[in-house]
């Protein structure tokens, strides 16, 4: 069973000005991180249970806290997956969703099964590394509610992926 | 055409192809144009001087000089244009890069910056800022929020309740920015929304800056007992600034709604799909 209390307690401790402003000693910062991680785990279970109940289906839900650096093991390794998007605002929100994926073309469907426009972007990586593909699509989420989008890799002869183009500049 | 442009239905951002830097933002609906130069700079952290032995540290921001140094005067750029997004990838140095992004239907410009690990091999502590320079005549005023609630009017080298003897021309004009900072000339307003609390200021009319990262070599003797210096190679941070150009009369509605969307952003949970039906038991 899930529990939100450890995360709530960690957040209460992290109201301290040292945690907010980052002025703590390194060993204290490490302890703040430990508290957050310990609170995160049972919180994630609670969230999964709530989503299973609301969506009517038990799933191995996975949260990707490293999406800001384009890391999400489930979307990067699966040919087919679902994306549940929860909107905490009391008004409808349209949002671009960006997910790291494996190479290929993808079909994204909205909650009513209609295909939505999507792009695969190939982002530049440090030299010697392969470009990392990211799937981009627009999602619409109701007020204080969630939408579930489904993503599936499709086989295309020539899947189209967009790469950033280098702009020639005078050498300096 | 000699310029590089990304554009959607509402905004056009123009870049100088020589320097790779942002040089103009246009609001196409309201027909507003604002020349904006944005780049990254760093303040050399003070180690104490003849006026005061106070070094810059975790609690105290005290730069050595008034003028920050540019991380680079130009950026290597790449451009990506798709039906859903247009991006300019700017690489300023090995430790500083940025993506300027415009999604379809979006009324703001997104600047996603990545800074770090800050090199300190030269034995200089560094405090890195993102600075926006515009020709707006702001008459010494700028605005910052207080915990995302009240917007407070700030005036350079001035305090409303006492006669200020400004001894720190840079740090003495820095204020907390929890969600937003803006400058205006009474007609146009340039607002920058942050995704985390940062220090910010306007040290010149028409200019606006936010501190995005810092790495320091000395303790400031205020109780922490150690310098703000991560172990190993140092930390790197990624965040974003959302930039809005608006007419003064409509700016508040724009930045309030956008800040709400950013602070209470939708949360994503992924699942492989095909799970068993949920039973309350």
pLDDT at residue B274, rounded to an integer? 80
The per-residue pLDDT for range A55-108, each reduced to its tens digit, is 888 889 999 999 999 999 999 999 999 999 999 999 999 999 999 999 889 999
SS (H, E, C) B66-116: CCCEECCCCCEEEEEECCCEEEEEEEEECCEEEEEEEECCCCCEEEEEEEC
Token digits for B21?
A: 């830097």
Tell me how far the alpha carbon of residue A138 is from its chain's centroid. Answer: 14
The answer to whether the Cβ–Cβ distance between A60 and B271 falls below 8 Å is yes
Q: Splitting chain B (281 residues) into consecutive groups of 10 residues, what average pLDDT does each group show? A: 88 94 96 98 96 94 96 94 95 96 96 96 96 98 89 96 95 96 97 95 98 95 90 88 97 95 94 84 69
The answer to whether the Cβ–Cβ distance between B197 and A138 falls below 8 Å is no
Instruction: State how far the Cα of A103 lies from the Cα of A160, in Å rounded to an integer.
Output: 10
Vertex B131: Cα angle to B130 and B137 (nearest 5): 155
pLDDT at residue A172, rounded to an integer? 60
B52 within 8 A of B130, measured Cβ to Cβ: no
- Give the number of A-B residue pairs with CB atoms closer than 8 Å: 154
The answer to whether the Cβ–Cβ distance between B270 and A69 falls below 8 Å is no
**What is A3-55 written as a DSSP string?**
-SHHHHHHHHHTTSHHHHHT-S-HHHHHHHHHHHHHHHHHHHHHHHHHHHHHH
Provide the edge-to-edge strand list for the sheet that holds A105-109.
A115-116, A105-109, A146-154, A80-86, B267-271
Which chain B residues are within 8 Å of A141, Cβ to Cβ? Answer: 266
CA distances from A131 to A16, A163, A164, B92, B201 (A): 41, 9, 10, 20, 38
Strand partners, B239: B113
pLDDT at residue A171, rounded to an integer? 62
ipTM confidence: 0.91
Q: Which ranges in B178-233 belong to alpha helices (H)?
A: none
Return the number of other C-beta atoms located less than 10 Å from residue A62's C-beta. Answer: 18
Residue position matching structure tokens 């508040």: B252
Query: How far separated are the first and last CA of chain A, in Å rounded?
Result: 60
Instruction: State how far the Cα of A137 lies from the Cα of A111, in Å rounded to an integer.
Output: 13
Q: Which of B78, B230, B273 sits opposite A167 (nearest CB)?
A: B78
The per-residue pLDDT for range A11-58, each reduced to its tens digit, is 999 998 888 777 889 899 999 999 999 999 999 999 999 989 988 888
Residue A56 forms contact with B (CB below 8 Å): yes
Any idea what DSSP says for residue B271?
E
Choose the mutation target among B271, B273, B275 for the interface with A, i.e. most A CBs under 10 Å.
B271
The answer to whether the Cβ–Cβ distance between B197 and A56 falls below 8 Å is no
State the pLDDT confidence band at A123, using cuts at 50, 70 and 90.
confident
């Amino acid at each position: 069973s899930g529990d939100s209390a450890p995360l709530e307690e960690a957040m209460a401790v992290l109201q301290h000005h040292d945690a907010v402003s980052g002025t703590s000693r390194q060993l204290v910062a490490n302890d703040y991180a430990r508290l957050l991680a310990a609170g995160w785990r049972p919180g994630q279970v609670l969230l999964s249970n709530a989503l299973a109940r609301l969506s009517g289906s038990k799933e191995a839900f996975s949260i990707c806290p490293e999406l800001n650096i384009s890391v999400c093991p489930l979307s990067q390794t699966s040919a087919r997956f679902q994306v549940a998007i929860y909107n905490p605002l009391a008004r409808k929100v349209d949002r671009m969703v960006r997910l790291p994926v494996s190479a290929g073309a993808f079909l994204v469907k909205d909650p009513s099964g209609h295909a939505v426009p999507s792009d695969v972007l190939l982002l530049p990586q440090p030299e010697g590394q392969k470009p990392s593909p990211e799937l981009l699509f627009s999602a619409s989420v109701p007020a204080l509610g969630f939408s579930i989008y489904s993503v599936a890799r499709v086989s295309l002869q020539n899947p189209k992926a967009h790469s950033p183009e280098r702009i020639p500049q005078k050498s300096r | 055409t000699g310029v590089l442009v990304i554009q959607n239905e509402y905004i056009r951002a123009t870049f100088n192809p020589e320097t790779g830097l942002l040089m103009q933002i246009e609001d196409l609906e309201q027909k507003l144009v604002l020349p904006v130069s944005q780049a990254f700079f760093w303040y050399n952290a003070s180690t104490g001087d003849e006026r005061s032995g106070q070094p810059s540290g975790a609690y105290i921001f005290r730069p050595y000089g008034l003028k920050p140094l540019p991380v680079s005067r130009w950026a290597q750029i790449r451009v990506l244009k798709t039906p859903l997004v247009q991006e300019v990838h700017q690489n300023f140095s090995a430790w500083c890069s940025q993506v300027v992004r415009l999604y379809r239907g979006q009324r703001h410009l997104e600047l996603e910056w990545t800074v770090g690990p800050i090199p300190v091999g030269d034995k200089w502590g560094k405090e890195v800022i993102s600075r926006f320079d515009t020709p707006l005549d702001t008459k010494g005023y700028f605005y910052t929020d207080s915990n995302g609630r009240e917007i407070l009017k700030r005036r350079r080298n001035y305090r409303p309740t006492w006669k200020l003897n400004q001894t720190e021309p840079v740090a003495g004009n820095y204020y907390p920015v929890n969600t937003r900072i803006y400058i205006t000339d009474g007609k146009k307003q340039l607002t920058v929304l942050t995704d985390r609390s940062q220090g910010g200021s306007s040290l010149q009319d028409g200019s606006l800056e936010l501190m995005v990262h810092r790495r320091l070599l000395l303790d400031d003797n205020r109780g922490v007992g150690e310098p703000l210096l991560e172990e190993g190679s140092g930390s790197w941070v990624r965040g974003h600034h959302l930039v809005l150009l608006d007419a003064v009369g409509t700016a508040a509605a724009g930045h309030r709604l956008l800040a709400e969307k950013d602070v209470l952003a939708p949360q994503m949970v992924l699942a492989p799909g095909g799970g068993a039906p949920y039973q309350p038991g």
